Amino acid sequence: MDLPSDLKHLFLKWLEDDCIVQIQLGSKRALQLTRAMENLKRTDEAIDNVNKLKTVRYIGPKITEFLNKKLLKYCNDNGYRVPDWCKTAETTTSSRKPATQKVAKPSTSTGLTGALPGGRSKGRRKYVPAKNSSAYAILISLLVNDSAQTGVQKSTVIAVASKYCERSFTTNPATGQFYSAWNSIKTLMNHELVVESTTKRPALYYLTDEGKLLATTLVQEMPEHQRPQIDGNDEDYDARQSTPAAYFASCGYQEWSDFTIKMIIDNREIRSQTERDFFQNKMSDANVPIEIRPLPVGDVLWVARSEAGEEVVLDTIVERKRLDDLVASIQDGRFLEQKSRLKETKLKNIIYITEEFTSTNLGQMAGAVQTSLSMIMTNFQFRLHRTKDADATCKFLSILHRSVCNRFQNKPIICINAMKLDDNSLPAFQDSLMKFRKEMDKDGCYIYINYSIFHSIFGKSSLVSLKETYIKMLMTTKGVSLDKAIQIQRHYPTPQSLIKAFRESKDPKLLSQHFKQEIITHKKVTAILSEKIFQTWGI
How large is the average pLDDT for residues 500-511? Answer: 85
| pLDDT score at 149 | 66
Q: How far apart are CA 487 and CA 493, in angstroms?
A: 10
**119, pLDDT greater than 80:** no
Report residue 116's pLDDT band, with 50, 70 and 90 as the boundaries.
Answer: very low
Is-contact 416 423, C-beta < 8 A? no
Give the residue among 220, 202, 222 at the shortest CA–CA distance from 212. 220
pLDDT at residue 533 in the model = 87
Contact (CB, 8 A) for 415 and 451: no
Burial of 317 (0-12, 13-18, 19+ CB in 10 A): buried
SS3 273: coil
- Say whether pLDDT at 284 is over 70: yes
What is the DSSP annotation of 76-111? Answer: HHHTPPPPHHHHHHHHHHHTSPPPPPPPPPPPSSSS
Burial of 361 (0-12, 13-18, 19+ CB in 10 A): exposed
Whether residue 462 is predicted with pLDDT greater than 50 in this model: the reply is no
Render 434-482 in DSSP notation, one character per residue.
HHHHHHHGGGT-EEEEBHHHHHHHH-HHHH--HHHHHHHHHHTSTT--H
Query: What pLDDT score does 163 carry?
Result: 78
d(CA 163, CA 397): 13
Q: How big is the CA angle at 428 (ends 422 and 431), to the nearest 5 degrees?
A: 150
Select from 27, 132, 190, 208 the least CA-distant residue to 392. 132
Three-state SS sequence of 204-264: EEEECHHHHHHHHHHHHCCCHHHCCCCCCCCCCCCCCCCCCCHHHCCCCEEEECCEEEEEE
Compute the distance between CA of residue 239 and CA of residue 73 in angstroms, rounded to an integer. Answer: 93
Percent of the chain topping pLDDT 70 = 73
**Range scoring the smallest mean pLDDT among 265-279, 299-313, 507-521:** 507-521
108 has a pLDDT exceeding 80: no
Return the higher-pLDDT residue of 133 and 256.
133
> In which band, very low, low, confident or very high, does the pLDDT at 518 lie, cut at 50, 70 and 90?
low
Tens-place pLDDT, residues 151-188: 788 888 887 888 788 777 876 665 666 678 888 888 89
Least confident range of 36-40, 80-84, 259-263, 346-350: 80-84
* 285 vs 430, residue with greater confidence: 285
User: Which of 17-26, 68-77, 110-119, 283-292 holds the top average pLDDT?
Assistant: 283-292
pLDDT-derived band at 121, boundaries 50, 70, 90: very low
Nearest to 122 by CA among 103, 140, 96, 138: 103
d(CA 439, CA 365): 46
Interatomic CA distance for residues 73 and 223, integer angstroms: 58
Q: What is the pLDDT of residues 418-444, one digit of tens each?
A: 554 443 445 556 666 666 666 655 444
Highest mean pLDDT among 359-373, 423-437, 510-524: 359-373
CATH numbers and ranges of domains, the chain = 7-86 (1.10.150.110), 134-226 (1.10.10.10), 254-458 (3.40.50.10130), 466-538 (1.10.150.670)
The predicted pLDDT at position 396 comes to 92
Mean pLDDT of the chain: 75
pLDDT of 235-276, one tens digit each?
333 333 333 344 344 455 677 778 899 999 988 888 777 778
* pTM score above 0.85: no
Q: Which residue has the higher pLDDT, 82 or 420?
A: 82
Say if residue 198's pLDDT is above 70.
no
Identify the helix (H) or strand (E) that includes residue 163.
none
DSSP track, 488-533: HHHHS-SHHHHHHHHHHH--TTHHHHHTTT--BTTB---HHHHHHH
- Average pLDDT score over residue span 59-68: 86
pLDDT category of residue 301 using cuts at 50, 70 and 90: very high
pLDDT at 352 over 90: yes
